[in-house]
Structure 1
């Protein structure tokens, strides 16, 4: 709708002496009787001009005039809202435009010619993906899909560390299980070792391959177990991601930052700027000089770097690769280190405005009203594979993105298993399947989709409501991408499914008067395309039969 009125508003702005490039914000009024589209441009300008917003709104409305094509009337409400009511013809024009888009409904070119790197999942290969990892997986991949749909050349990246104490502990855990499966049942398991079934599974595979070759404990035995464990865990992670239809373009090994000298160079560059000093045998980063509250250790007295140092080197590398936008997906447990890393990168002369950080809050699981607790190292283990087996990949992806990333997510296992309208995934998929069923029945009657149907016969309020929602899809996709808020697309699709169900209930499609039947079939098909594309962006299948 915006495209039909915005040029007239800009012409009116020019006529009253305002820059035609002035930002104009539009929104859909929530209250009936307030038109189909509203703008607050008069109120925004009034603040700058220090004038009465309602008087300015009246001046603009007068300048726009009364004979605007496809506009029924323009009203002023409240302190200066300009509400536009469109003639039915505008909806018919919108439907024809949407139909002409074919399979590209919702696609945008706002990012054409630009590049983006989205880094997500990034779990170290010390075990299978935990159920809680699912939120990072789903949020990251959906954002990457949104960027791709908005025309960006999109690189999906996975950053991992296969070095350090955690990997040594994995090797020790597997070796302990290896000795136990050889018959040494009393061989001690490390106090902080990795529990769950997978270390024993890996140990059994090692026994089957090499027998008791490594029964005598040695550095060689531990290195072998560690290496085999890393390979097994990474293969398991990739299999899980494949089930969720998540595929990365780049796997970046943190160790390469050390072997290439980039970590040492980062320390040297920070030192040259007077931002590094030695104290108590450790190397400190003088963050207090960069506006942070306190300095932080970047190399411990043991010689082991803290997370901040390789992360600074890693972000330098990504920025030097020339991406226009860099998106990091982190859990809330990273919130303390992010400002320090970006401060270091900026201090080294890089433009950190290109780095967008998405912090998702933690996930809790409930079933039958009770909390379910999981742990990767000890106690009851619940992997992402287990979750997928219980509720399905589509439900997993949707549930993890259906709430704003900045809010705590309560994953209701009972709701996720339901096969009815209460389950939001079922509700969306059923809307798509219902449309496909109608189109099949039409084809069986010999009635084909007519792109040239006379859509002027569509005047029912439920038809207009559905067309209005369909016309917003590209804007929803663009805003979800711009603001890094994938849940807004999920919410939009729920609204679209509800609007279709209402239309289906109130407006008979098959068997209505031929011209009306043809127009309604076209509207149903355009809705099908929009639902299909929206579900694809979310990584959820769009079944034709349910």
Structure 2
């Protein structure tokens, strides 16, 4: 074969393995074979003519009895009016010739389970796919549908806290999983730069500014003001620039000047801190644009026109919350009767509430910008708002099912077995930047994505800084580095990977080989499942298990001293695992080391 012919063949194979999902292929082919066989059995009169029942084709937890299992015979007992074993035997009698398929044999077990065994060629194909496709794991499952993932969205009135650290990792990793599953993903940060919290921010800054010149005893601080040290710092910076120019100004002028100074600095700080955490957003959406553009008023008018709102006697505009949220389970889960009451959308003074802006914002996502799905990650304390928000989408003529909210539970920092509440450096509640000063960014991102958002978690500071196999991120990174070391050492001894033609006749058969290949084969299917269930933590756990399977394989199977075809095949398998680990770590923005 000439170089040109070889390169052409490799290019063709790479195209073949684009969006390759070996587990899905196996399940689809198994379903097609069994369906064809059942229909042939009916045509031959061995089974009654009827519609096939719904049946399961799955990868069993224990593959010693088969790589793919189906309950077709069990599910068909009622419609075929025969014992499952008889149905299974009839189906097997009409199976097409398996030559050329990805299966080597099919058996019936127990009362009628149908088990299919994968042929050696399938295992080789998995290794081909993972070594020939640098993007192995990507699929076209999402069909390019537009998905908006909004996460963190911390108020720009102060530093980000631990909840934002967890939400940031979960949101960014979820967006990555959705992208790899074939969706068109937009990462978004909603900047709450309007409303009560900004007015409170301005009042707090104004008081601190006046105190800077007049003393704290002379100027009372608002009872509901922001007490953080960061407010004092901003006010002092402003005073250093502007002097006492605003001391005698009216409160509104002084407050607005301080907001105009402090807000951009805080937003820039959020962007800077998140970038340090390896999070970059496609869109920073400002709440103020909804008010300035008339979008909030337009949504209020729409709700009034459809009868979802009405004007109260005091002039306030009320939203019929219970009527629209009941569909989403709010009515029968309320513990507080006040939640069943209609909600204020526009206050009697004509100022819209935060809820009004929130409706306009989600309307903008789904109707104006045309996202097929909007996914929000909120703190668990916002659980009561979920049904209201989804119901509001129905009220404005959209579909509340197009908005999905992931509720995130609290996280506790633990050191020496005890909860840590305060930063040693500041003596204040621990912020995102405090955390990143304590632990590596790799550990922070990996640890926060170890468990589903809905579970409470303890973040072990001691474990996060350990550099041994007890630390899960180190364990996974070490597997990648170990493979790099194996390849480098073999190369130093004149042994290198020669391409798939060097092991074309080899059949993987060692149990450790097969277990590892099965683990590699699961990656694209795991991506799809994670995207469907909004569970990026599933991929983190998957790659930990993959690393474990690799270490087991390496201890069980010789590479250097194996016969040439086996050596090349096992080296290819190492490279396949290396590619999967690199893809997971890169996807989750965790360092991919080649040596440790």
TM > 0.5 fold call? yes
* Structure 1 CA distance for aligned equivalents of residues 52 and 220 of structure 2: 72
* Counterpart selection for 1:528 from 578, 583, 589: 578
What displacement does 1:525 show? 0.8
Out of 175, 197, 204, the position equivalent to 2:236 is 204
Q: Given that residues 142 and 181 in structure 2 are in contact (C-alpha distance below 8 angstroms), is that contact kept between their aligned partners in structure 1?
A: yes
The structure 1 residue matched to 2:40, chosen from 15, 24, 43, is 15
Shift of 1:419: 1.7
1:383 correspondence with 2:431: yes
- Per-residue CA deviations over 1:195-230 (Å, capped at 9, x if unaligned) read 343223323332332333334464332222222221
Provide Cα deviations, 1:328-348, integer angstroms capped at 9, x if missing partner. Answer: 222212221121122122133
| Cα distance in 1 for residues equivalent to 2:463 and 2:51 | 51
* Other structure's SS at 2:187 match: strand
2-structure distance, mates of 1:108, 1:20? 32
| CA distance in 2 between partners of 1:426 and 1:468 (Å) | 23
Aligned to 2:566: 516
Does 2:245 align with 1:213? Answer: yes
* Equivalence for 2:517: 467
Alignment match, 1:296: 342
- Work out the CA distance in 2 between the residues paired with 1:532 and 1:344: 42
What are the residue-to-residue correspondences of 1:416-495 with 2, within 5 Å?
416-452=464-500, 453-454=502-503, 456=506, 458-495=508-545
Change in Cα spacing, 1:185 to 1:276, as seen in structure 2 (3 Å) is closer
Conservation of the 8 A alpha-carbon contact between 1:111 and 1:151: yes
Aligned-partner Cα distance in 2 for 1:518–1:205: 65
Question: 1:72 touches 1:86 (CA, 8 Å); kept in 2?
Answer: yes
3-state SS of 1:104 partner: coil
Secondary structure class of the residue paired with 2:94: helix
Q: How far 1:474 sits from its partner (Å)? A: 0.8
Match of 2:128 among 96, 116, 131: 96
Distance 2:407 2:92 in 1: 43
> Taking structure 1 as reference, are residues 347 and 192 closer, same or farther at Cα in structure 2, changes over 3 Å only?
closer
Q: Contact 1:13–1:19 (CA<8 Å) still a contact in 2? A: no
Deviations 1:484-536 (A, max 9, x none): 11111111111111001111122232344333322221111111111010112
Supply the distance in 2 between the matched residues of 1:258 and 1:45 (Cα, whole angstroms). 60
1:251 is the counterpart of 2:284: yes
Call closer, same or farther: CA 1:224–1:88 in 2, change over 3 Å: same
* C-alpha distance in 1 between matches for 2:541 and 2:310: 50
Q: Which residue of 1 aligns with 2:365?
A: 318
Question: 1:61-116, CA deviations, whole angstroms, 9 ceiling, x for partnerless residues?
Answer: 33326745453433334565432223434312332233232x01101122234222
Secondary structure at the counterpart of residue 319 of structure 1: helix
- Corresponding residue to 1:107 among 127, 138, 142: 138
Mapped contact 1:26–1:39 kept (Cα < 8 A) = yes
The yes-or-no answer on 1:146 pairing with 2:177 is yes
Q: Check the 8 A contact 1:24/1:39 in 2, yes or no.
A: yes
Aligned match of 1:232: 265
CA–CA distance in structure 2, aligned partners of residues 350 and 500 of structure 1: 48
- Provide closer, same or farther for how the CA distance between residues 21 and 340 of structure 1 changes in structure 2, counting only shifts above 3 A: farther
Deviates more, 1:89-98 or 1:134-143: 89-98
Matched, 1:84 2:116: yes
What is the CA-CA distance between 1:275 and the residue it aligns to?
A: 2.1
Q: Give distance in 2, aligned partners of 1:390 and 1:52.
A: 64
1:472 CA displacement? 1.3
The within-5 A match list for 1:17-416 is: 25-31=56-62, 33-45=64-76, 53-64=84-95, 67=98, 69-77=101-109, 80-101=112-133, 103-182=134-213, 184-186=215-217, 187-216=219-248, 218-219=250-251, 220-279=253-312, 281=314, 282-290=316-324, 292=326, 293=331, 294-297=340-343, 298-301=345-348, 303-320=350-367, 321-373=369-421, 380-416=428-464
Deviating more after overlay: 518-527 vs 445-454: 445-454
Q: Report the Cα offset of residue 304 of structure 1.
A: 4.3
Provide the TM-score with structure 1 as the length reference: 0.91
SS in 1 for 2:310: strand
How far has the Cα of 1:28 moved from its partner?
A: 2.8
Per the alignment, residue 3 of structure 1 pairs with 25
User: d(CA) in 2 for partners of 1:304 and 1:492?
Assistant: 50
Cα pair 2:149 2:171 within 8 Å, conserved? yes
Q: CA RMSD in A?
A: 2.8
Deviates more, 1:534-543 or 1:459-468: 534-543
Cα distance, 1:424–1:288 mapped onto 2, change above 3 Å: same
- Kindly indicate whether the alpha-carbon contact (under 8 Å) linking 1:280 and 1:301 is maintained by their aligned counterparts in 2: no
Describe the shift of the 1:536–1:310 C-alpha distance in structure 2 as closer, same or farther (beyond 3 A). same
Is the 2:309–2:318 Cα contact (8 Å) retained in structure 1? yes
Q: 1:258 to 1:23 in 2, by over 3 A?
A: farther
Query: C-alpha separation between the residues in 2 aligned to 1:447 and 1:290?
Result: 68
Structure 1 CA distance, aligned partners of 2:561 and 2:392?
68
1:135–1:318 CA distance, 2 compared to 1 (3 A):
same
Query: Does structure 2 conserve the Cα–Cα contact (< 8 Å) formed by 1:269 and 1:348?
Result: yes
Partners of 1:539 and 1:25 in 2: CA distance: 36
Contact 1:11 1:20 (8 Å CA) reproduced: no
Do the aligned partners of residues 26 and 485 (structure 1) sit closer, same or farther apart at CA in structure 2, a change above 3 Å counting? farther
How far apart in 1 are the matches of 2:364 and 2:297?
13
Distance of aligned partners of 1:269 and 1:80 in 2 relative to their CA distance in 1, 3 Å threshold: farther
1:507 to 554, 557, 569: 557
Structure 1 gap ranges (5+): none
